[in-house]
Amino acid sequence: MINIVLFGPPGAGKGTQAKMLSEKYGFNHISTGDVIRGEIQRGTSRGLQVKEIMERGELAPDELVLGIIEEYIKSHSDCAGNIFDGFPRTSNQAKEFDVILERNRQTIDVMLALEVPDEELVKRLKLRAEVSGRPDDADENVINNRIEVYKKQTAVVADYYEAQSKYIPVKGTGTIEEVFASLCKAIDSIIARKA
Ligand code: ADP
């Protein structure tokens, strides 16, 4: 079993690549953003708690996201691998994630970090707004806020994995297929190392 944190700023292409990687390797994929959007749509108490936070481009409370992750880990303990997309997003989430994983006798193998310049992110998110219907994509102020939040609260999460020698940066520009090929190369090397 291989556990991967797919990391990068909003608009880096995590969702697109996670889907392709899951298909190729038979991994499960969890996007905390997708889970939260689902809860908002269904009008659950979790959803109601975070709707406005999400629409402002801020982060949901750690406890809420950690609850989602713990439920996921418990129900996906027996599989080829997992891709965590959009999680962990704060240092505290990263530390608590390790506690949860340990409790379930698991560990993170690698963080694959997609690197994309800011101007490209804004361009992609504005374009995505036309098809995603996401309120947090529709407004340029919210897009900029999400990038700011990423820099202030999330970027440091990479240091946490780098300190454990689990950090691999991947060029997130170029075609979707080029980025996919780079990610596959990194994953294949991890699989070979574990074999
Ligand atoms: P993107 O990466 O494109 O910004 P996501 O779908 O990953 O989009 O996340 C959208 C929103 O969901 C975030 O701006 C935040 O409000 C909330 N969210 C998702 N994952 C987390 C997390 N791990 N911690 C806190 N909030 C989160």
pLDDT 10s digits, 12-33: 999 999 999 999 999 999 999 9
**What is the DSSP-derived secondary structure letter of residue 155?**
T
Q: Which pLDDT value is given to residue 125? A: 96
Give the pLDDT band (50/70/90) at residue 146.
Answer: very high
- How far does residue 72's CA lie from ligand 1's centre (Å)? 16
- How far does residue 33's CA lie from ligand 1's centre (Å)? 4
Percent of the chain past pLDDT 90, that is, above it, reads 98
Q: Which pLDDT value is given to residue 78? A: 87
- How far does residue 59's CA lie from ligand 1's centre (Å)? 6
CA distances in angstroms from 95 to 88, 159, 160, listed in the order given? 9, 12, 8
Give the pLDDT band (50/70/90) at residue 141.
Answer: very high
Is the model's pLDDT at 101 over the cut of 90?
Answer: yes
| CA–CA separation, 159 and 157 (whole Å) | 5
Cis, peptide link before residue 135, omega less than 30° from 0: no
Give the pLDDT band (50/70/90) at residue 97.
Answer: very high
Q: Which pLDDT value is given to residue 152? A: 98
Dihedral over alpha carbons 144, 146, 152, 153 (to 10 degrees): 180
Closest CA to ligand 1's atom 14:
57
| CA–CA separation, 21 and 32 (whole Å) | 17
Is the model's pLDDT at 113 over the cut of 90?
Answer: yes
Q: Which pLDDT value is given to residue 77? A: 85
Q: Which residues line ligand 1 (CB under 6 A)?
A: 10-11, 31-33, 36, 53-54, 57-60, 65, 86-87, 89, 93, 136, 146
Q: What is the pLDDT of residues 34-92, one digit of tens each?
A: 999 999 999 999 999 999 999 999 999 999 999 999 999 999 988 999 999 999 999 99
What's the mean pLDDT when you consider all of the chain? 97
- How far does residue 129's CA lie from ligand 1's centre (Å)? 15
- Return the best residue to mutate from 46, 56, 87, 89 for the ligand 1 pocket (most ligand atoms within 8 A of CB): 89
Is the model's pLDDT at 131 over the cut of 90?
Answer: yes
| Closest among 15, 57, 38, 31 to 153, alpha carbons compared | 57
